[in-house]
A and B are shown apart, each in its own frame.
Chain A
Amino acid sequence: MPLRNLRLQQRLMAIMLVTSACVLVMTCAGFFAYEFLTFRQSMVRQLSTVAAIVADNSTAVLAFEDRKGAEEILSALKAERHIAEAGLYDGEGRLFSTYPKDADPGEFPPAPAAEGFRFGGGYLQGFQAVVQNDKRLGTLYVKSDLKAVTARFQLYGAVVVLVSGLAFLLAYLLSRALQRQISGPILALADTARAVSDRRDYSVRARQAGTGELGLLTDAFNQMLTQIQGQLTRMELLNQITRAISERLDLTSVFQVMLGALEENLAVDFICVCRYDADARLLTVTSVGAKAAPLAEELGMTANARIPIDDGLRQCVGGQFTYEPDITNLRHTFTDRLADKGLRSMALSPLLVDSGVFGILIAARKVPDGISRMDREFLRQLSDHGALAAHQAHLYGALQQAYEDLRRSQQAVMEQERLRALGQMASGIAHDINNAISPAALYTESILERETNLSTQSREHLQTIAHAIEDVAATVARMREFSRQREPNANSVPVQVNKSIQQVIDLTRSRWHDTPQQRGIVIKIKTELDPGLPPVMGVEGEIREALTNLFLNAFDSMPEGGTLTLRTRKGKDKDVIAEVSDTGAGMDEETRRRCLEPFYTTKGERGTGLGLAMVYGVAERHGAELQIDSAPGKGTTMRIVFPEAEEAIAERQAPEAPAAPLRLRILVVDDDPLVAKVLRETMKMDGHEVATANGGQAGIDTYLTARKSGAPFDLVMTDLGMPYVDGRKVAAAVKAASSATPVILLTGWGQSLLEDGDMPPHVDKLLSKPPKMADLREALASLAPKKTAGGIPA
């Protein structure tokens, strides 16, 4: 098993044991090497000492050739166990005596060699001179076996094994005891880590382990746990808040939930959310934390308070999270405002969506540097989530609004479609009825006029028939009012709605004053009329009629009396709004939906159901919108919204032209005979005298000839694009001859020329092809020379 896979304790022990084993082996190896060398040296020394002694003792025996004495001396070598052989050589180098006594002389070196001892052949052997008083008397030979070395090293081996074993055992015991110093805290740490990861419990802490590196490690570990725990709590909180705010669909409650959560979980003294208006460079306080409300009062930062952007706020509305540990010395208007009320540290967190900063979150504390880093991070994250939720709420609102608008316009279209169908039907019926009753009415009338000999009873019957026919005619007339299509030629004039209302009040006096009073009922009339109201374009009689119908319906709805309020005001886009409000019974849903239908009435015999149908027809013809606000028991407000007057004027100017019929002499110049013919035929039908010329040059010639002959053209109408001589040249030639003769230029590009404001010279009017009848008429009318109007004999 590799070392790294062992458990920590075993690892530490293994390391220590391996280390001590290495040290022991090295020590023993050194010891052996040293012993080996020194022991050999000491062996040599010892042997040479012995040899020297023996040699010294041998001088006399050699000198006096005493073999016996020599044997005695050599036999003393018995004491040295390892000396295997010894021999004395005399002065002539002959072997004189041996040890052991009966050794085979053949084993001895034949003659003494150089002095000294050396190892070889499993022995240590050598020669020692025998000298007396400088006189070399002979040589001693000694040979020692190496059993001593072996024995010695056997002993050493045993000692080494024993000592090593003991040392290793000691190392093992020591390492077992000592490794706990290191492994203990680490294992404790590991246990804690395991507990944390197994149980996801970040509240456990590792046991403190002194002040060394392990202590520091434990400290760092515990600190890390504290941080994780803090982060987790914050995250959970963030999660909770996020969930809570994502359920809200309106801004105010999103912010309220956000602030509530912050106040509950963060140490803050003041907290609020402001909306940011980038154009006005203003913050508007939107929501203030509940606990911060009294302080907000002091600061003047309650809901809807405005705060101009100053240098202290600029960074945040630029999209950056800002934190000021101490605001006392910043000297910005806004920070000073907070500082005056004892606030010291402040964090500003932008509320950001894709489009930019739409608000900021302000948090402040009364202690300097009171918002910790973790809290700031929390604020920042919460702001992000809040911004997102707020943005979502906003989108949701817009969606709701769009849906509502769509639904309403769809309903209006349906309504209109239904009414249009009804109108068609009504007009068909009206036509048929008119046709049907015409003979009846004519005959009834002529009989009553001419037949004088009718019985009184017959005459009465005929008169009843005539009345009935009149009634039918009146009904059909009202019906036609509803169904009549909008006619462009209708005689629109500027109408002062305020004046019309006043007139209607007067006209209906009997209905709201006289009759009710007789019955003891009071109907009050209130007017809230805008004196600066611009006129609307329309038919005065129709508008009056419509208002009358609305008045009458209002009176009908207030049989017990009430108030009729008449209001006029300018709406947006210069609309003119006229309102007729009553405090009567109001309409239920069904009635409100169907009241515009012809013949729909809730009044039975007393009503025809054509009143509002007629009002609707009038409104339609005036391009106005009819709005109905009503609920049972709440009264009814009928509102007519007239469109902008200018537009109406421009639109209605054309029908004024044909007031006086024109008869003009007109020259049409065009290289396309078909176009020229169509123009001629059309204008002829309107009573004009029309000549045509094919091409530019022909046109100029025709004009000049006519002028010379004393029958000049009143007006020239020419095409623009023609070969050789184009419309511009024709116009120039005409104006050169008679500058008063108007020239109309017809062009396929007329529209774009007009839009460019590029009116060619010598041209009075541009008309685009194909010209519309109305445009043509209007152009002729506006350009007709006054003196010649109707100048042509009929």
Chain B
Amino acid sequence: MPVLRSLFLMLLASVSAAVAQGAPDREHRVKAVFLFNFAQFVDWPDSVFADPDEPLVVGILGDDPFKAYLDEVVRGEKVNNRPIVVKRFRKVEEIKDCEVLFVSPSESPRLEGILSSLKQKHILTVGESEDFQRYGGMVNFATEGGKIRLKINLEQVQEAGLSVSSKLLRLADVSGARRE
């Protein structure tokens, strides 16, 4: 059905145009892809999902630096047969079902409170500020020489009941004790 398909693509283009209130910078485009890729390398406990089809939620707390790009990235993708949904939260209290949560730099002042409230929630927390990990953030994007480096606090990750693939750990700067 080439006609249908082209129609659909046209529709898709108009929607993304509508969503994008402006394109993110190259750094945040990469980070958006990484955010999605975390879902590939991290395992959540089964209890997180009520049923097998329940979508995996990538949430953004605070201002969204990715604009509509993240939606573009996850559109149509699946992790372990689960569709991926992007949710944007204004407050910590709004977060109910969420697997990966990007904590926007806009939330830096309230960081300590946010992170501690998410502690028991099996949420992989991702941030991009200097002191994100100091307050218990799990994964931090650090920019060194124009390159994005991943920093992972393994202790925090494990405490949240998540397991990170060794492949991911190998290319990240890992801190925190490893529970063997």
What residues make up the interface of A, taking CB atoms closer than 8 Å to B?
A: 57, 59-61, 63-66, 69, 132-135
Contacts and interface: CB of A to CB of B under 8 A. Distances in A.
A59 B168 CA distance: 9
Nearest to A69: B171
Given A60-B165, A64-B168, A64-B171, A133 B150 contact: no
B44 interface: no
B79 A57 contact: no
Contacts of A66: 171
A748 to B, nearest CB: 151
Contact of A64 (B34, B79, B80): B34
A134 B41 contact: no
Interface string B149-171: 01000000000000001011011
Given A60-B167, A60-B170, A135 B34 contact: no
Nearest to A70: B171
Nearest to A59: B167
B95 interface: no
Nearest to B150: A64
What are the 8 closest A-B residue pairs judged by CB atoms, nearest first?
A60-B167, A63-B37, A66-B171, A69-B171, A132-B40, A133-B40, A60-B168, A135-B40
B30 interface: yes
B75 interface: no
B41, B77, B78, B150 interface centre (most CB from chain A within 10 Å): B41
B137 to A, nearest CB: 18
Contact of B79 (A60, A61, A135): A135
Contact of B171 (A61, A133, A134, A135): A61
B167 A65 contact: no
B48 to A, nearest CB: 16
Contacts of A133: 40, 79-80
A134 B170 contact: no
Given A63-B37, A132-B40, A135-B79, A57 B30 contact: no
A59, A64, A132, A133 interface centre (most CB from chain B within 10 Å): A64
Interface in B29-45: 30, 34, 37, 40-41
29 contacts: A57-B167, A59-B40, A59-B41, A59-B167, A60-B41, A60-B165, A60-B167, A60-B168, A60-B170, A60-B171, A61-B167, A63-B34, A63-B37, A63-B40, A63-B41, A64-B37, A64-B168, A64-B171, A65-B30, A66-B171, A69-B170, A69-B171, A132-B40, A132-B41, A132-B167, A133-B79, A133-B80, A134-B80, A135-B79
Contacts of B30: 65
Contacts of B167: 57, 59-61, 132
A503 B170 CA distance: 184
B143 to A, nearest CB: 13
A64 B41 CA distance: 11
Nearest to A65: B30
A60 B171 CA distance: 8
A57, A63, A66, A132 interface centre (most CB from chain B within 10 Å): A63
Nearest to A91: B33
Contacts of B80: 133-134
Interface in B73-112: 77-80
A134 B150 CA distance: 23
Contacts of A134: 78, 80
A61, A65, A69 interface centre (most CB from chain B within 10 Å): A65
A131 B6 CA distance: 28
B167 to A, nearest CB: 4
Contacts of B34: 63-64
A96 to B, nearest CB: 14
B76 to A, nearest CB: 12
Given A60-B167, A133-B40, A134-B80, 12 more contacts: A57-B167, A59-B167, A60-B165, A60-B170, A61-B167, A63-B37, A63-B40, A63-B41, A66-B171, A69-B170, A132-B40, A135-B40
A388 to B, nearest CB: 123
Nearest to B34: A64
Contacts of A135: 40, 77, 79
Contacts of B170: 60, 69
B80, B150, B167 interface centre (most CB from chain A within 10 Å): B167
Interface string B30-69: 1000100100110000000000000000000000000000
Contacts of A57: 167
A529 B37 CA distance: 175
B83 to A, nearest CB: 13
Contacts of B77: 135
Contacts of A59: 40-41, 167
A66 B168 CA distance: 10
A628 to B, nearest CB: 163
Contacts of B79: 133, 135
Contacts of B168: 60, 63-64
A371 B34 CA distance: 122
A65 B27 CA distance: 13
A133 B80 CA distance: 6
A64 B138 CA distance: 17
B50 to A, nearest CB: 21
A60 B170 CA distance: 9
Contacts of A65: 30
B84 to A, nearest CB: 11
B53 to A, nearest CB: 15
B38 to A, nearest CB: 9
A502 to B, nearest CB: 177
A57, A61, A133 interface centre (most CB from chain B within 10 Å): A133
B178 to A, nearest CB: 18
